[in-house]
Amino acid sequence: SKVGETTKNRRHEAQRAISALDPNRIKGRLQTHDKVEAAAEYFGHFCMLMHLEHMEELRQIKRRTQRLPEMELSRLGWCLDGLPCTGVFGRREPKKVSIIGWEDPGSEMGALALPPSVSFDRLKFKR
């Protein structure tokens, strides 16, 4: 069945990701002021766990935004739709010299108007 195949693919993807991890490479590289190695190892362990948790959160967000329709994402507070642009400002020139044939137009910032009915408590991103 399709569900079983999806589960099998996820399991295979997880096993591949875990086998590619080297705990010593992602462990926090900490040094304490008093050079106590045990304390650095202890807190380095938690830094590694926080990093893995952050990576998992990003994976879940990516998966959710790819699977759910736009209206559902909007209803859940993961995106806003139909916001009018009130202004464009802050044009920045490109930071680097571009490669011939690859034009870098720089960047601009824009302001969007939020409707009065927006509940910031429901949004999944910060102001």
pLDDT single digits (tens) 22-74: 777 766 567 778 888 888 888 888 888 888 899 888 888 888 889 999 889 88
> Is the pLDDT assigned to residue 84 strictly greater than 90?
yes
Query: 98 and 61, same structural domain?
Result: no
Share of the chain above pLDDT 90, in %: 5
Q: Would the pTM of this model clear 0.85, i.e. be above it?
A: no
> Is the pLDDT assigned to residue 86 strictly greater than 80?
yes
Instruction: Find all residues with CB under 8 Å of 126, minimum gap 6, and list them.
Output: none
The whole-number pLDDT of residue 40 equals 81
Q: Domain end: 44, 67, 90, which one? A: 67
Helix (H, G, I), strand (E, B) or coil at 5: helix
* Domain around 21: 2-67
Query: 94 and 48, same structural domain?
Result: no
Q: Domain end: 15, 41, 67, which one? A: 67
Mean predicted confidence (pLDDT) in 107-125:
82
The whole-number pLDDT of residue 27 equals 63
Query: 109 and 55, same structural domain?
Result: no
Which residue in 82, 83, 86, 102 sits closest to 94, CA to CA?
102
**Contact yes or no for 127/120 (Cβ under 8 A):** yes
The whole-number pLDDT of residue 97 equals 67
Q: CA Rg, the chain, in Å?
A: 22
Query: 88 and 33, same structural domain?
Result: no
